[in-house]
Amino acid sequence: MKQTDKQKSNLSILMYMFTVVISFYTVGELVGIDHSPAYHYETYLKEIAIALVPLIITLSFPPIRKMLWQSFDTSPLSSKKIWFYIIGFLLVYYFIFKITFDYEIFISKSWVIYYDWGIPYITYFTYPVLGFSLYIFSRVILAPIIEEFIYRVFFISFFSKWINVWIVVILQAAIFTFNHPFSPFLAGILGLFLGILYVKTKSIIPVLICHSVWNLYSALVMNFDFWFIPRW
């Protein structure tokens, strides 16, 4: 009976992997995300759709849903070392970002040009509060949750059963890089660090904090021109 349950669980996991991959690229193609400017309501709604579909699929598979709930372990947050890693990484990542933009290396030229214009995204919106709210929901809340679960929690937990865990960390970082073509170098560093942090903590919360805080900082930089927020 136990062997049968295990086989059913493995089959469910394989079905989940296949369904998520197909849905991700199918929804992306259907909504045409690659052709949308970063500062349109439509773009954020498309990003929300792309993230919501895999999240719904995740919640639809009992073994995967259980894995998601169990990953929200708060115990690592009681460690000062973990907070040191989180804050230290965010500071280091900021300086790496600054170097890549200042010297225009390992970054999309169009992104550098638009950033140098210094025009806040929010000025393009007829309803700024709505625009910024969609940005926050899409890139600070929803996207980090589904990305951290799929890339870090699921990918590392599943494949490390057969492959050395550090090889799996590198593999998930490479896939994460591939899916962020406008800034592959920066995405690769983020994916690698978050993979290491997840292995150390076995919790989605520390990696989610890093990812969401960075995206929130980026949201403030790209949408506003506050003097007290350092630009990279």
- For 108-149, the pLDDT digits (tens) are 777 777 777 767 777 778 888 888 899 899 999 999 999 999
Cα separation, 196 vs 207, in Å, equals 9
Q: What is the mean pLDDT of residues 42-48?
A: 86
What are the extents of the domains in the chain?
2-223
Position 216 scores a pLDDT of 95
Express each pLDDT in 143-183 by its tens digit. 999 999 999 999 999 999 999 999 999 999 999 999 888 78
Cα separation, 74 vs 61, in Å, equals 24
Predicted confidence band at 2 (pLDDT cuts at 50, 70, 90)?
low
Question: How many other CB atoms sit within 10 Å of the CB of residue 76?
Answer: 19
Cα separation, 170 vs 192, in Å, equals 6
Express each pLDDT in 98-108 by its tens digit. 999 888 888 87
Position 1 scores a pLDDT of 45
pTM: 0.91
Position 150 scores a pLDDT of 96
Cα separation, 92 vs 170, in Å, equals 19
Average pLDDT, the chain: 88
DSSP state of 183: S
> Among candidates 134, 166, 153, which has minimal Cα distance to 47?
134
Q: What is the mean pLDDT of residues 22-40?
A: 71
**What percentage of residues in the chain have a pLDDT greater than 90?**
55
